Amino acid sequence: MHRAVDGAPVAVVIPALDEERSIGGVLRNIPAPYRRRMVVVDNGSRDGTARVAREAGAQVVAEPRRGYGAACLAGLAALAADPPRAVVFLDADSSDDPAEMPRVVGPVLAGEADLVIGSRVLGARERGALTPHARFGNAFATFLIRSLYGVRFTDLGPFRAVSWNALARMRMEDQDYGWTVEMQVRAARLGLVVREVPVSYRRRIGKSKISGTVRGTVGAGKKILWVIFREALRPRRLPADP
């Protein structure tokens, strides 16, 4: 595991929708060096998510357009005036363990990787945390990525770290369920250095907006597959390439 380093070059972006019960604990459990720049994107919450996040020391950005990708893009826009070296993304529902952040962001800060995926498949999982359909979806999506792009992943997990320079090259644009897979396939197409590290995964606090509903599960699956094939059919060089 990489030891924690000065967290000033790191910003943490956490999309949140109705996560009043969990967001305070997530923020308080982020290791001290990385608490200097925490951005919680309130994605149209109807509870006290924004208030709790501010009380825990986070900058709160409002993004009323629903969608995981839209929230992540809003968080990045809030950082653009003074960009960090690396951005860490994690969920607001306490399923990811913020204490493992040094393991995830360490290779990026050390210049050893452009993108690091926290793999729930490689790490320890609390019973019931990763549902059977989520495991199947991960396996199928990563199989397609390996077949089409020649890059091996085990997970599309949300807990990840990426350099600001890599984000600029990837030109992320997905507004919803396709955000994580878009990042991974664009990194593959650009030849970026991508690593996976094992992370633990816990049962979330509250109900999942995706895997907790049939509509969410089907919608996410369709969008992930669409992004994988859409990117494969695009010209070889992305617009961000020099």
The CATH number of 10-233 is which of 3.40.1440.10, 3.40.366.10, 3.90.550.10, 1.10.260.40? 3.90.550.10
- Reply yes or no on whether the pLDDT at 32 is more than 60: yes
Phi, psi of 10 (to 5 degrees): -110, 135
Mean predicted lDDT score pLDDT of the chain: 89
Q: In what order do the strands lie in the sheet with 86-89?
A: 59-62, 38-42, 10-16, 86-89, 160-163, 115-119, 194-198
User: Tens digit of pLDDT for each residue in 146-168?
Assistant: 999 999 999 999 999 999 999 99
Lowest mean pLDDT among 89-103, 128-142, 179-193: 128-142
Q: Distance between CA 15 and CA 42 in Å, rounded? A: 6
- Helix (H) or strand (E) holding 53, with range, is helix 49-55
- pTM reported for the whole predicted model: 0.89
Q: What is the average per-residue pLDDT within 71-88?
A: 97
Q: What is the average per-residue pLDDT within 3-25?
A: 84
Q: What is the pLDDT of residue 238?
A: 53
Length of the chain: 242
Report the Cα–Cα distance between both ends of the chain, in Å, rounded. 34
User: Tens digit of pLDDT for each residue in 121-147?
Assistant: 999 888 877 778 778 888 999 999 999
